[in-house]
């Protein structure tokens, strides 16, 4: 059996946010391989999140984030099961990160299930026409458009967006890791984003990159 040091356990905790005992068990199970242990914990976290998904989450936080001297504002509600978890550092950091994600990436919907059928139909129509104009054969049009719609979801749906701090993770995966870490059902419930001058036909500064860099450096 591999010798599991405290340093290895700490490194795994930093990577996965899992508890100390879970990290140690995972390292023992995976014979000290950090990458395998991280995958082991993520899979376990997914199962944990699925089991807890049906539990009522009515506690939590409403968080506000203001950027660029009041040019962009976000209100975000994230729920958990108890006030105790709502007050933890892990939960608070998740809420702050997601609020900044909303400010930086300007999602239009929470999940793909929230996208109105009319919006999906419009996007499909545009992409089908573009694919036809590019000379793509009809027998592959649908597959091409399906892939494009999936990519579009990852741009406009908050929970399917890549996390700005760590692009290999989606916000959904980040939420799953939080559930595994705190042991409660946690869920991003709703958000709203405002930007000064939004909808007015004037040239505006794009703050997305600026906020993304700030989020990465936090």
pLDDT for position 24: 86
Domain 6-52 has CATH 1.10.8.10: yes
Note whether 95 and 76 are within 8 A (CB). yes
Query: Reduced to 3 states, what is the DSSP secondary structure of residue 195?
Result: strand
pLDDT for position 45: 66
The residue extents of the domains of the chain are 6-52, 59-112+157-217, 116-154
Calpha distance 31→28 (Å, rounded): 5
How many Å from the N-terminal Cα to the C-terminal Cα in the chain?
38
Calpha distance 198→175 (Å, rounded): 29
Calpha distance 208→72 (Å, rounded): 10
Calpha distance 41→50 (Å, rounded): 14
Q: Is 179 exposed, middle or buried (0-12, 13-18, 19+ CB in 10 A)?
A: buried
pLDDT for position 131: 83
pTM of the model: 0.72
Note whether 12 and 38 are within 8 A (CB). yes
User: Which residues sit opposite 64 in a β-bridge?
Assistant: 75
155-166 per-position pLDDT tens digit: 999 999 999 998
Note whether 74 and 192 are within 8 A (CB). yes
pLDDT at 206 over 60: yes
Longest dimension (CA), the chain: 66
pLDDT at 47 over 60: no
- Residue 120 has a CB neighbour count (10 Å cut-off) of 14
| CATH of span 116-154 | 1.10.286
Hey, CA dihedral for 33, 93, 197, 124, is it positive or negative? Answer: positive
Calpha distance 24→8 (Å, rounded): 9
54-71 per-position pLDDT tens digit: 677 889 999 999 987 899
CATH class of 59-112+157-217: alpha beta
Q: Is 98 exposed, middle or buried (0-12, 13-18, 19+ CB in 10 A)?
A: buried
Note whether 188 and 218 are within 8 A (CB). no
Please, which pLDDT band fits residue 208 given cuts at 50, 70 and 90?
low
pLDDT for position 198: 81
């Amino acid at each position: 059996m591999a010798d599991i040091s405290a340093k290895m356990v700490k490194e795994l905790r930093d990577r996965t946010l899992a508890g100390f005992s879970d990290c140690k068990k995972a390292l023992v199970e995976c014979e000290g391989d950090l990458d395998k242990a991280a995958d082991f914990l993520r899979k376990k976290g997914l199962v944990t999140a699925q089991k807890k998904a049906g539990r009522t989450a009515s506690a939590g936080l409403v968080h506000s984030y203001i950027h660029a001297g009041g040019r962009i504002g976000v209100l975000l509600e994230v729920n958990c099961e108890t006030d105790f978890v709502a007050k933890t550092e892990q939960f608070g950091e998740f809420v702050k990160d997601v609020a900044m994600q909303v400010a930086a990436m300007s999602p239009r919907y929470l999940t793909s299930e929230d996208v109105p059928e009319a919006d999906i139909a419009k996007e499909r129509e545009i992409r089908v026409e573009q694919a036809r104009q590019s000379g793509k054969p009809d027998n592959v049009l649908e597959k091409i458009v399906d892939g494009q719609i999936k990519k579009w979801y990852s741009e406009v749906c908050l929970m399917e967006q890549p996390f700005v701090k760590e692009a290999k993770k989606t916000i959904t995966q980040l939420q799953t890791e939080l559930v595994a870490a705190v042991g409660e059902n946690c869920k991003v419930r709703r958000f709203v984003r405002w930007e000064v001058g939004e909808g007015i036909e004037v040239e505006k500064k794009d703050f997305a990159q600026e906020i993304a860099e700030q989020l990465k450096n936090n």
